[in-house]
Structure 1
Amino acid sequence: MSRRQQVLSSYRSLLRATRIAFNGDHRVFTAARQQVRQGYEAGRTELSADPKHYEEVDKRLEHASGVALLLRSNIVQGELQSGNLSKKNMAMVDPSHSSVQSEGGDVYKLRIHKHTELGDNEAVKGGKSNLAGTSKKIRWSN
């Protein structure tokens, strides 16, 4: 595959990843796509097809691939379902549901899709396998 085809393929991959990650949130979706477009336009003007730039192009392609993977698998959006945004920035997450309830009573619906990474965190827990009564506290920053 030529470098031009690799660059176009990574560009399309990033655009697909933004569609998956930010579907339904027009403002963030548009901003993400604009950011991708600006990054590739900047690369077009900074780098040429000269072989001395191949290493830099390869680094940027690897970075784009990582960003696309991160967007697809690790970004989860939440939408406020009821009540107003609470002054308390603490929430309880129940791993068996796709919603989050803050201590102020607000409920956030999480948009988890088929590409979302749903690991079991065994490495983080140090090998513990008992998940009974598991819940996590998350600090939400404003």
Structure 2
Amino acid sequence: MSTRSKALNAYRHGLRATRIAFQNDTEILSAARAKMRSGMASPPNPKLTAEEQIQHLEDVAVFLRRNLVQGKKVEGANMKQPRYHLNIHGDTELGDNEAIADPTAKVKTNLKARPFKCSDKKQ
């Protein structure tokens, strides 16, 4: 596969990741896509090789899909504490607090998304 086609695939993966991560926030979605477009036109770190830049874009796309979750404050009259609705989707990486509770524990790097159920989710 040529470097050009790898770069286009990485760019497409980045665009899909922004669509997943920012699907209900058009302002942030368009800003993220504009930043990605400008990064493709003039790479932010010209010292990196083309392959390293492509890998960086792929890593950013994976991070956006797995680790970024948007929250929206839920307004309500009877709430003493604010509540937030989180946009958790199928690609979201849900880990446990094992690494936080035990600093010597090894962090699992290949966690899969688990179904998320929220009893007080309002639609």
TM-score range, shorter chain: 0.7 to 0.9
- Displaced runs of 4 or more, over 6 A: none
Point out the structure with max Rg over C-alpha.
Answer: 1
Q: State how 1:108-123 maps to structure 2 within 5 Å.
A: 108-123=84-99
Q: Please give the alpha-carbon distance, in whole angstroms, between the structure 2 residues aligned to 1:30 and 1:76.
A: 17
Residue 59 (structure 1) shift: 1.2
Shift of the 105–121 alpha-carbon distance from structure 1 to 2, 3 Å rule, reads closer
Q: Which runs of 5+ in 1 are unaligned?
A: 48-52, 84-101, 128-142
Match of 1:24 in 2: 24
Q: State how 1:103-142 maps to structure 2 within 5 Å.
A: 105-126=81-102
% identity of equivalent residues: 42
Match of 1:80 in 2: 73
Per-residue deviation, residues 11-45 of structure 1 (Å, max 9, x unmatched): 000000000000010110110011100100114xx
Residue 117 (structure 1) shift: 0.5
Q: Which amino acid aligns with 1:58?
A: E
CA RMSD in angstroms comes to: 2.4
Q: Please give the alpha-carbon distance, in whole angstroms, between the structure 1 residues aligned to 2:14 and 2:60.
A: 7
Aligned residue pairs, count = 101
Per-residue deviation, residues 33-89 of structure 1 (Å, max 9, x unmatched): 11100100114xx97xxxxx9x61011111111101110000010111116xxxxxx
Residue 124 (structure 1) shift: 2.8
Q: Please give the alpha-carbon distance, in whole angstroms, between the structure 1 residues aligned to 2:84 and 2:100.
A: 25
Residue 105 (structure 1) shift: 2.1
Q: Please give the alpha-carbon distance, in whole angstroms, between the structure 2 residues aligned to 1:59 and 1:3.
A: 11
1:9 aligns with 2:12: no
Q: Which runs of 5+ in 2 are unaligned?
A: 106-123
Q: Which amino acid aligns with 1:65?
A: E
Q: Please give the alpha-carbon distance, in whole angstroms, between the structure 2 residues aligned to 1:35 and 1:121.
A: 33
**TM-score, normalization by structure 2:** 0.73
Q: Please give the alpha-carbon distance, in whole angstroms, between the structure 2 residues aligned to 1:122 and 1:106.
A: 27
Q: Please give the alpha-carbon distance, in whole angstroms, between the structure 2 residues aligned to 1:21 and 1:7.
A: 21
The structure richer in strand per residue is: 1
